[in-house]
Structure 1
Amino acid sequence: MARSIQPSVPPHGKGQREAILAEAAALFALRGYHGTSMSDLAEACGLSKATLYHHYRDKSEVLTHIADGHVSRLVELCDSVERDPAVTPDDRLRVLVERFLAEYAEAQNSHRVLTEDVRFLPSPDRNRILDKERHVVQSFADAVAALRPDLAKKKLTKPLAMLLFGMLNWMFTWLRPNGALTHASVTPLVLNLFFDGVRNMPAPMPHPRLVRVPRAAPVAAKRASRARTA
């Protein structure tokens, strides 16, 4: 049975809007975006549909606020680490991993919605959110470059950042709530696999250049053919 929110603030209260988004994220994560209606959301929130539509004009706007709010918090996490004078370049990547996994642990529903449902948004909203995701990826790529400048010269920092997000972003598919493992217990594993791996990775070897073998000019090729048949 869906949880019910007991409204404790006026209809225009920020707390009620945040409660609606939290309930919507839980429903979208459980049923899917297309499997949840505004009527379902109103019932789960313990609100009338009129009150729900007072806050959000439609389901797309609800999804936009969930995804944009979550990715905006991730952007702020990245920026706060970069601004923190106590975080050295060598520690930046480790701190980012620790703080992201801590955020994911507290926002599992919102993260699942961001990962799976953004594609259903209209292009302007989707592109704005994707731009923020690119900002996050670039922050991680810059952290890899700060740790290993030689990898930046080989244009490997962004691919490595994407490999890291392949580990982080899809934990919700196997890390079960109330299971034996938690985000906190998995964090050292991620750091050992990735942070220590990048730090100790051998310098990449230069790619061998392919030698182009020039093709015979048409005239020369015709002469060679005549000589063979003469």
Structure 2
Amino acid sequence: MARTRAATYDDQREHILAQAAALFAHQGYPGTSMNQVAAACGVSKATLYHYMRDKAELLAQIAQSHVGRLEALVAEVAAQPLPAEERLRMLITRFVREYADAQHHHRVLTEDVKFLEPAAQRQVLDGQRRVVTAFARTLAEVRPALAEQQLAKPLTMLLFGMINWMFTWLKPGGALNHDMMAPLVSDLFLGGLHAVQAPAAATAAPFSPPIHPTETAR
């Protein structure tokens, strides 16, 4: 007979992912042991292995769950019967707020994806690319000429450049918080978006983003 899961299984799993993400974010994936994760979670190492096969699966679950939440946000906003510019503003706001509540997961996604096994890495990167494509599609609805000039994705990557690294300088308890920053990002980006002029070489070759919202050169 198949073994049934305890009612608290999912909650405990999420707790493990959150604690592991915090450890990976502060001391790096290679520098964190399963013993440390177990201690942070307040469980035995044997119990930890009941939830995760090994550290590689733990990293994969952190990255995949975070990207999954981002894709879910995109789907929720896409379902709203709103004009394109309002949907883009909503996407920006939802992502800024999501990053505020998942800074450890986001840091892991930006810094530790390279440690994933190939199949898990492909799954994460495919999800990231779908997010970029959705943003770029919405951006092109705001200014259709950008798609023709092959600028929708490069401008999307510039937008993510504003959002992705906010966690490195926007400190808790400061004069600004993420809710206050979201409309500033929207105003700054959309105000500039309508002024963008295609460079002469913009139609020379299609742009292919290296990875997506999260893999940015430091």
Q: Quickly name the TM-score band, shorter chain normalised.
A: 0.7 to 0.9
Relative to structure 1, the CA distance from residue 11 to residue 26 in structure 2 (aligned partners, 3 Å threshold; closer, same or farther) is farther
TM-score, normalised relative to structure 2: 0.85
% of aligned pairs identical?
Answer: 52
Relative to structure 1, the CA distance from residue 33 to residue 209 in structure 2 (aligned partners, 3 Å threshold; closer, same or farther) is closer
Unmatched 5+ stretches in structure 2: 205-218
Relative to structure 1, the CA distance from residue 55 to residue 178 in structure 2 (aligned partners, 3 Å threshold; closer, same or farther) is same
Within the candidate set 10, 17, 41, 1:14 is matched to 10
Amino acid at match of 1:119: K
Q: Is the 8 A contact 1:12 1:55 kept in 2?
A: no
Deviation at 1:157, TM superposition (A): 0.2
Q: Is the 8 A contact 1:89 1:146 kept in 2?
A: yes
Q: Distance in 1 between matches of 2:202 and 2:84?
A: 32
Q: Which residue of 2 aligns with 1:220?
A: none
Q: Distance in 2 between matches of 1:134 and 1:37?
A: 30
Within the candidate set 132, 135, 140, 2:135 is matched to 140
Deviation at 1:205, TM superposition (A): 6.3
1:115 and 2:110 are equivalent in the alignment = yes
1:201 and 2:195 are equivalent in the alignment = yes
1:167 and 2:159 are equivalent in the alignment = no
Relative to structure 1, the CA distance from residue 152 to residue 209 in structure 2 (aligned partners, 3 Å threshold; closer, same or farther) is closer
1:51 and 2:47 are equivalent in the alignment = yes
Relative to structure 1, the CA distance from residue 206 to residue 35 in structure 2 (aligned partners, 3 Å threshold; closer, same or farther) is closer
1:153 and 2:153 are equivalent in the alignment = no
Q: Which residue of 1 aligns with 2:20?
A: 24
Within the candidate set 95, 100, 103, 1:105 is matched to 100
Deviation at 1:209, TM superposition (A): 10
Amino acid at match of 2:146: L
Over the residues paired in the alignment, what is the CA RMSD in angstroms? 2.1
Deviation at 1:34, TM superposition (A): 1.2
Q: Distance in 2 between matches of 1:68 and 1:15?
A: 17
Q: Is the 8 A contact 2:84 2:138 kept in 1?
A: yes
Deviations 1:73-127 (A, max 9, x none): 1011111211222x22221211110110111111111111111111100110001
Deviation at 1:11, TM superposition (A): 8.9
Q: Distance in 2 between matches of 1:172 and 1:90?
A: 25
Unmatched 5+ stretches in structure 1: 1-8, 211-230
Relative to structure 1, the CA distance from residue 117 to residue 205 in structure 2 (aligned partners, 3 Å threshold; closer, same or farther) is closer
Q: Which residue of 1 aligns with 2:86?
A: 91
Q: Distance in 2 between matches of 1:119 and 1:19?
A: 24
SS of the counterpart of 1:47? Answer: coil
Number of equivalences = 200
Q: Is the 8 A contact 1:150 1:203 kept in 2?
A: no
Which structure carries more relative contact order (alpha carbon 8 Å, separation 6+)? 2
Deviation at 1:148, TM superposition (A): 0.2
Q: Distance in 2 between matches of 1:209 and 1:202?
A: 15
